[in-house]
């Protein structure tokens, strides 16, 4: 059977590229090492947040956004400083992506049946000057149906293309080698893994039962990043973030191993920005794990008190939801790889959300009735389940008992109730006036000026030590691995480039393996909602680029 293109990796970027190719009548061989149950990859597990600029949803919420403002925020966040080399193509991808997010992205997705939750979220608020890191305005648009709702239209297109004999989809096919002829990539070679009936995300067997070899005019690599490969994370960990954590939990399934990066490098592909990565600081252990070291990220509002392992309050911009990498650096500088939230029952009811499709059954299931139940008293169901069953939560009626429970949990006895009480009392005193020097209190009051935060996201400011707001809650927070920000350097058509800037003939890349475009479209930091969006955009660009190149 003759194929025009072999796509390695059936995550979101691979599905989008396959859709672009088959829409133009190209024959595609889609390979993935995982069982069919994991079709859609990490995107299926996601909260479904997408970065959009000047959308109708924003305008309805009273948000004024522009392409210029979004580009200002992107540059302030990315901090590109390798302009002539590793960031050369990344900057071009970034500019194209912001234009896409402000232009056809929303209507393209709507044409596929994708819809959005009406309240726009405000992720990565920054906490610095206007030209610094962070979103100046809310831009985090949640897909109605979360990750599965975003994967669904592309899976539908895949199934239709299979019926038309335009796609052969072969799960359990692990690519071990890219085949070349005189420097041109002409196919793939690898191992057929034994059949597996594991559920989505669970570790599957690596037992080899046979070998395979396929050829095509073009190969597209869309195999994801290194998020579950802790050895590779630690190897590439940048010194600017301190020493790598000895203990981490994983935000991605075991198969996110980064194998195809080295395999692509062997045929001349250039990997850039290896030291750039994105790991969350608000991870909690999943009491109902699907994969090894399974962690869930808390999506916090701005009110919780954030303490290091010794009970010292972090300084701005290291506030909940403001600057992920700055907080990661601050945590690692303490010599410990965990931290704490202290909050009240009122805060957890309003401000705690959990990332992931499975942790948001109301949004994932598109249930308006269940969403409305969030305004009822009590923590959301998934959050309450972690409070009841998760090992990282401590609940108490007074601070002394809370701190005792925190020390019992870590068995390190690092925390002293009097030290923590003094800091929280100082914060509580800052609420007695409408103005204060406490940056966090000013920030949460400012957040409530935005209608979306005031309605469903940010609790009314109150004193944490006032018993009427209790009980008190403490949450131990782990470092949660997640995204590769660097990767294979590509041009705007997804062509993989060599060290000398020339293309590797026949080889393309999309998604996280390419740093979401160009080998690092985010630079050092993300504005959030840009990982799924980067898969969509880079998969689309690569698919269209391949169609153009094959026609020449």
pLDDT tens digits, residue range 250-306? 999 999 999 999 999 999 999 999 999 999 999 999 999 999 999 999 999 999 999
Which residues on adjacent β-strands are paired with residue 175? Answer: 190
| pLDDT category of residue 375 using cuts at 50, 70 and 90 | confident
Q: How far apart are CA 179 and CA 188, in angstroms?
A: 5
Question: What was the pLDDT predicted at 377?
Answer: 86
Task: Supply the angle between the helices 88-102 and 67-78 in degrees, to the nearest 10.
Answer: 150
| Tokens 């899976």 belong to residue | 155
Give the CA count within 13 Å in the CB-facing half-sphere of 230: 16
Question: What was the pLDDT predicted at 372?
Answer: 84
Cα-based distances in Å from 381 to 374, 478, 517: 9, 22, 37
Tokens coding 333:
């500088």
Which residues on adjacent β-strands are paired with residue 474? Answer: 342, 394
Q: For the residues 446-458, what does the mean pLDDT come to?
A: 95
Q: For the residues 295-324, what does the mean pLDDT come to?
A: 97
Q: How far apart are CA 490 and CA 496, in angstroms?
A: 5
| 12, pLDDT greater than 70 | yes
Q: For the residues 524-551, what does the mean pLDDT come to?
A: 98
Distance of CA 531 to the CA centre of its chain: 6
Q: For the residues 532-545, what does the mean pLDDT come to?
A: 98
Give the CA count within 13 Å in the CB-facing half-sphere of 390: 26
Q: Which among 327, 342, 222, 231 is positioned nearest to 279, based on CA atoms?
A: 327
Specify whether the CB–CB gap between 149 and 143 falls below 8 A: yes
DSSP 487: E
**pLDDT tens across 403-425, in order?**
999 999 999 999 999 999 999 99
Exposed / middle / buried, residue 290 (Cβ in 10 Å: 0-12, 13-18, 19+): middle
Question: What was the pLDDT predicted at 486?
Answer: 98
Specify whether the CB–CB gap between 340 and 307 falls below 8 A: yes
Q: How far apart are CA 452 and CA 43, in angstroms?
A: 25
Q: Which among 303, 307, 284, 469 is positioned nearest to 386, based on CA atoms?
A: 284
Q: How far apart are CA 478 and CA 296, in angstroms?
A: 10
Query: For 145-175, what is the HEC assignment?
Result: CHHHHHHHHHHHHHHHHHHCCCEEEEECEEE
**pLDDT tens across 39-61, in order?**
999 999 999 999 999 999 999 99
Question: What was the pLDDT predicted at 376?
Answer: 82
Ranges of beta strands (E only) in 140-276 are 140-142, 167-171, 173-181, 184-193, 208-221, 249-250, 271-272
| 480, pLDDT greater than 80 | yes
C-beta neighbour count of 446 within 10 angstroms: 13
Give the CA count within 13 Å in the CB-facing half-sphere of 93: 39
Q: How far apart are CA 353 and CA 371, in angstroms?
A: 12
| 175, pLDDT greater than 80 | yes
Q: For the residues 492-509, what does the mean pLDDT come to?
A: 98
Question: What was the pLDDT predicted at 95?
Answer: 98
Q: How far apart are CA 175 and CA 172, in angstroms?
A: 10
Cβ-based neighbours of 209, under 8 Å, separated by 6 or more: 192, 193, 194
Tokens coding 378:
């009590």
Share of the chain above pLDDT 90, in %: 97
Cβ-based neighbours of 514, under 8 Å, separated by 6 or more: 221, 487, 488, 489, 490, 494, 496, 538
Q: For the residues 208-217, what does the mean pLDDT come to?
A: 98
User: Domains plus CATH for the chain?
Assistant: 3-223+258-276+485-550 (3.50.50.60), 279-480 (no CATH)
Question: What was the pLDDT predicted at 37?
Answer: 97
C-beta neighbour count of 304 within 10 angstroms: 29
**pLDDT tens across 346-361, in order?**
999 999 999 999 999 9
pTM comes to: 0.97
Question: What was the pLDDT predicted at 1?
Answer: 61
Question: SS3 of 68, please?
Answer: helix
């Amino acid at each position: 059977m003759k194929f025009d293109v072999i796509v390695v990796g059936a995550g979101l970027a691979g599905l989008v590229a396959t859709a672009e190719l088959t829409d133009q009548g190209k024959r595609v061989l889609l390979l993935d090492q995982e069982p069919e149950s994991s079709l859609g990859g990490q995107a299926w597990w996601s909260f479904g947040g997408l970065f959009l600029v000047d959308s109708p949803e924003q305008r309805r919420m009273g948000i004024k956004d522009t392409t210029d403002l979004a580009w200002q925020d992107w540059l302030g966040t990315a901090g590109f400083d390798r302009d002539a080399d590793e960031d050369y193509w990344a900057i071009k991808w970034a500019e194209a992506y912001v234009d896409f997010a402000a232009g056809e992205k929303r209507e393209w997705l709507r044409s596929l049946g994708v819809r959005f939750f009406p309240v726009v979220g405000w992720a990565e608020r920054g906490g610095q000057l206007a030209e610094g890191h962070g979103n100046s305005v809310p831009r985090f648009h949640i897909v109605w149906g979360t990750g599965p709702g975003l994967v669904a239209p592309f899976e539908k297109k895949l199934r239709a293309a299979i019926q038309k004999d335009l796609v052969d989809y072969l799960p359990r096919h692990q690519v071990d080698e890219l085949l070349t002829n005189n420097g041109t990539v002409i196919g793939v070679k690898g191992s057929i893994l034994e059949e597996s009936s594991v559920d989505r995300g669970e570790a599957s067997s690596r037992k080899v039962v046979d070998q395979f070899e396929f050829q095509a005019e073009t190969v597209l690599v869309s195999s994801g990043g290194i998020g579950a490969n802790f050895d590779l994370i630690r190897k590439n960990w940048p010194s600017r973030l301190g020493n790598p954590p000895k203990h981490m939990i994983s935000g991605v399934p075991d198969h996110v191993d980064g194998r195809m990066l080295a395999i692509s490098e062997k045929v001349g592909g250039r990997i850039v920005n290896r030291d750039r990565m994105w790991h969350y600081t608000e991870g909690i252990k999943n009491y109902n794990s699907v994969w090894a070291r399974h962690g869930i990220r808390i999506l916090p509002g701005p009110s919780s008190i954030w303490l290091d392992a010794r009970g010292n309050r972090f300084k701005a911009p290291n506030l909940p939801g403001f600057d992920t990498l700055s907080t990661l650096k601050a945590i690692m500088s303490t010599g410990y790889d965990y931290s704490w939230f202290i909050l009240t029952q009122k805060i957890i009811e309003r401000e705690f959300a959990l990332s992931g499709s499975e942790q948001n059954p109301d949004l994932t299931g598109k249930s308006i009735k269940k969403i409305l139940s969030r305004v009822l008293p009590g923590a959301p169901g998934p959050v309450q389940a972690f409070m009841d069953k998760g090992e990282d939560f401590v609940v108490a009626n007074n601070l002394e008992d809370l701190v005792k429970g925190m020390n019992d949990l870590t068995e390190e006895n690092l925390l002293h109730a009097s030290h923590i009480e003094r800091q929280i009392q100082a914060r509580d005193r800052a609420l007695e006036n409408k103005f204060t020097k406490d940056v966090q209190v000013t920030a949460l009051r400012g957040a409530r000026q935005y209608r979306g935060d005031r309605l469903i996201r940010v609790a009314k400011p109150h004193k944490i030590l006032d018993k009427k707001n209790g009980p008190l809650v403490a949450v131990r927070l782990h470092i949660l691995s997640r995204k590769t920000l660097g990767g294979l350097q590509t041009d705007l058509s997804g062509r993989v480039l060599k060290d000398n800037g020339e293309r590797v003939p026949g080889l393309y890349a999309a998604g996280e393996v390419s740093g979401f475009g160009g080998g690092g479209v985010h630079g050092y930091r993300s504005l959030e909602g840009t990982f799924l969006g980067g898969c969509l955009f880079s998969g689309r660009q690569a698919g269209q680029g391949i169609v153009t190149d094959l026609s020449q």
